[in-house]
């Protein structure tokens, strides 16, 4: 019997029972998000309105939506699970794995995305490298979004089934239909407004767990001591000091994997080229707002480990049970890594607060799901359907297509939820997808923006080679586990470490092939690169702008805080 069938056949005791107040809070939330969708329907009649929210979002709204699109149930449950599995090392995905890339997007890359007036990242590749690169990136991105949507489906169903005892199918369909309705009605504008609402709810609902947990543990120092006692011989609470060797940390990774694989390739690839998040910034009202949005998002991103990573660490120190991978948990009737956050909610939240906490998880699901389906609708409509199937239709036709493929994207996503069951934890699944599709794409976009000599043929073949090599390396390790010592530089590497190194190698393959092919083929004339490449684009000057109003100043401030945090938790 497969893992899904085993899970559905099992009847675990529900951890908590909601009272009428909790159920009322959840019901009010569902009504609120649907009302937002119906209210904004009339403001989503054109392609610019439906797919880019009319390009009229302020820096703060775009910045919070930029972060909230990433702060879904994947973040809440997935990284709580990863922090239980790998300890404080999971924080790297929020700090070195996010902050430098977000600042780079705001200061360096947004001028090209915004000035070119592209609707999407594949749209930029079409302007820079031609239809081949656009088509390849659009197809792989559309494929990735529906696979990623499955994570949100799975997370939601897991919470509702294990925590509340709700039917897994009921949870999936009610939430998915709600997302499909409000995104199909209001487009990106509806998704953005709901994401800002969800951002507030997530913080209100999730912050109590780490606060109450630290009180029970007696503070951070006592929590470290508890974890050291419970897990003798393993260091779960050092951010950098254990990364000098592959064997000295729970992830089995060296600092080179964190800095180069995560901090450079995965991080910069995701935050600067994944259209799911970039789309929110493209909706900003002007270039300054577009540059400030990722910087605002970076500030809040540094705080997110408090509500996401800390619950997993509290589980290591305070739970009187040992959590395991999904398959082992199903086989033994125990709890998996993915259930650490629901277990902590059941431990700390009472009536009313519990309803708010469950609503926060539902909001996280809605946020992640809406982000994926709105990005899928845009890329499908503009970069696949209009580019290769129907080039001369009316604007209203493309809006209708966007609405219909929103519904289709949700339906496909429901099917992909079951793939998640094959992975030890949610985040291993996600990072594998990023290494397949995002790491090579980053190499292509980066060379396209910074190197005038890169040619259309180089862009296409580099992207294809990077993607194929990444999938090939994954298949190689699956077929021959001894290959892990080659791919991840150590036979002791865990899944997450393998993902980091595979991303690095695929990025290198992409860059090398792009450079070699570019030198063998003819580049575009310089006049065709205006607005697309450094050295061929006039960036609006900020001369005379007050220091406190310059995005670069705030980027330096955020960067300084980032360095201080890494030193404190070294």
The pLDDT of residue 1: 31
Residue at 302 is within a domain: yes
Whether 316 has a pLDDT exceeding 90, the answer reads no
Tell me how crowded residue 520 is: count the other CB atoms within 10 A of its CB: 11
What range does the domain containing 8 cover?
3-246+279-426+541-568
**What CATH code is carried by the domain that includes residue 150?**
1.20.1730.10
- Neighbour-count burial of 531, counting CB atoms closer than 10 A to its CB (0-12 exposed, 13-18 middle, 19+ buried): middle
Q: Using CA atoms, how far apart are residues 438 and 432, in angstroms rounded to an integer?
A: 10
List, for residues 357-397, the tens digit of each pLDDT value: 777 777 767 666 777 777 777 777 877 777 778 777 777 77
Residue at 298 is within a domain: yes
Please give the average per-residue pLDDT across 252-264, as a whole number.
Answer: 80
Whether 7 has a pLDDT exceeding 60, the answer reads no
The pLDDT of residue 475: 87
The pLDDT of residue 5: 34
Distance of CA 551 to the CA centre of its chain: 24
Whether 54 has a pLDDT exceeding 60, the answer reads no
Q: Using CA atoms, how far apart are residues 415 and 569, in angstroms rounded to an integer?
A: 41
Q: Which of 136-145, 316-325, 509-518 has the highest mean pLDDT?
A: 509-518
Mean pLDDT lowest among 45-49, 486-490, 553-557:
45-49
Exposure letters 461-487 (e unless 16+ CB within 10 A, then b): bbbbbbbebbbebbebbeeeeebbeeb
Closest CA relative to residue 205, chosen from 30, 22, 60, 78: 22
pTM of the complete model: 0.72
Q: Could you tell me if 433 and 163 are in contact, meaning their C-beta atoms sit under 8 angstroms apart?
A: no
Residue at 479 is within a domain: no
Please give the average per-residue pLDDT across 497-525, as a whole number.
Answer: 89
Residue at 507 is within a domain: no
The pLDDT of residue 334: 65
> What's the number of domains the chain is made of?
1
| Mean pLDDT estimate for the chain | 77
Residue at 532 is within a domain: no
Please give the average per-residue pLDDT across 419-444, as a whole number.
Answer: 72
The pLDDT of residue 414: 74
Whether 328 has a pLDDT exceeding 80, the answer reads no
List, for residues 114-148, the tens digit of each pLDDT value: 776 666 778 788 888 888 888 888 888 877 777 77
Tell me how crowded residue 550 is: count the other CB atoms within 10 A of its CB: 16
Handedness of CA 54, 57, 62, 68 (dihedral sign): negative
Q: Could you tell me if 391 and 37 are in contact, meaning their C-beta atoms sit under 8 angstroms apart?
A: no
Handedness of CA 313, 274, 296, 365 (dihedral sign): negative
Please give the average per-residue pLDDT across 53-68, as a whole number.
Answer: 72
Q: Which is more confidently placed, 248 or 501?
A: 501
Quickly list DSSP for 242-292: TTTSSSSSTT---HHIIIIIIIIIIHHHHHHH-HHHHHHHHTBSSHHHHHH
Residue at 303 is within a domain: yes
Residue at 407 is within a domain: yes
Residue at 266 is within a domain: no
The pLDDT of residue 252: 75
């Amino acid at each position: 019997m497969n893992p899904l069938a085993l899970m559905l056949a099992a009847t675990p005791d529900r951890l908590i029972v909601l009272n009428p107040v909790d159920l009322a809070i959840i019901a009010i939330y569902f009504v609120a998000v649907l009302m937002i969708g119906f209210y904004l329907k009339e403001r989503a009649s054109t392609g610019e309105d439906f797919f880019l929210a009319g390009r009229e979002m302020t820096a703060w709204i775009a910045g919070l939506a930029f972060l909230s699109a990433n702060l879904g149930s994947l973040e809440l449950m997935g990284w709580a699970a990863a922090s239980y599995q790998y300890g404080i090392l999971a924080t790297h995905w929020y700090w070195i794995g996010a902050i430098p890339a977000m600042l780079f997007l705001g200061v360096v890359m947004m001028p090209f995305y915004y000035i070119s007036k592209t609707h999407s990242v594949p749209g930029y590749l079409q302007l820079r490298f031609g239809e081949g690169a656009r088509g390849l990136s659009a197809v792989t991105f559309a494929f990735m979004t529906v696979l990623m949507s499955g994570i949100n489906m799975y997370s939601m169903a897991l919470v509702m089934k294990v925590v509340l005892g709700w039917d897994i199918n009921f949870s999936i369909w009610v939430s998915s239909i709600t997302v499909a309705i409000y995104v199909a009605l209001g487009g990106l504008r509806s998704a953005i407004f709901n994401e800002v609402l969800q951002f507030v709810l997530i913080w209100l609902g999730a912050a109590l767990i780490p606060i109450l947990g630290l009180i029970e543990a007696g503070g951070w120092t006592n929590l470290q001591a508890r974890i050291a006692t419970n897990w003798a011989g393993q260091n779960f609470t050092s951010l950098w000091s254990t990364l000098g060797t592959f064997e000295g940390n729970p992830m089995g990774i060296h600092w080179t994997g964190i800095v180069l694989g995560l901090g450079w390739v995965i991080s910069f690839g995701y935050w600067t080229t994944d259209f799911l998040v970039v789309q929110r910034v493209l909706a900003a009202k002007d270039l300054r707002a577009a540059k400030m949005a990722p910087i605002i998002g970076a500030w809040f991103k540094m705080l997110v480990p408090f509500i996401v990573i800390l619950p997993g660490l509290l589980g290591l120190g305070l739970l009187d049970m040992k959590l395991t991978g999904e398959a082992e948990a199903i086989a033994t009737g125990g709890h998996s890594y993915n259930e650490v956050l629901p277990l902590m909610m059941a431990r700390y939240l009472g009536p009313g607060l519990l309803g708010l906490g469950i609503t926060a998880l539902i909001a996280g699901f809605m946020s992640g799901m809406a982000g994926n389906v709105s990005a899928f609708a845009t890329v499908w409509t503009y970069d696949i359907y209009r580019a290769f199937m129907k080039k001369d239709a009316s604007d209203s036709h493309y809006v209708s297509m966007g609405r219909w493929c929103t519904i289709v994207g949700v339906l496909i996503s429901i099917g992909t939820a079951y793939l998640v069951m094959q992975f030890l934890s949610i985040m291993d699944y996600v990072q594998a997808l990023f290494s397949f599709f995002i790491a090579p794409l980053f190499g292509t976009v980066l060379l396209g923006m910074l190197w005038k000599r890169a040619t259309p043929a180089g862009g296409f073949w580099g992207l294809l080679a990077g993607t194929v090599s990444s999938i090939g390396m994954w298949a190689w390790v699956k077929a021959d586990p001894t290959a892990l010592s080659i791919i991840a530089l150590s036979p002791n590497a865990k899944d997450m470490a393998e993902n980091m190194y595979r991303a690095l190698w695929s990025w290198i393959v992409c860059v090398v092939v792009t450079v070699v092919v570019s030198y063998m083929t003819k580049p575009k004339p310089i006049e065709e690169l205006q607005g697309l490449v450094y050295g061929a684009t006039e960036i609006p000057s900020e001369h005379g702008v007050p220091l406190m109003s310059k995005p670069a100043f705030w980027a330096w401030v955020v960067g300084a805080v980032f360095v201080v945090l890494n030193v404190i938790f070294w």
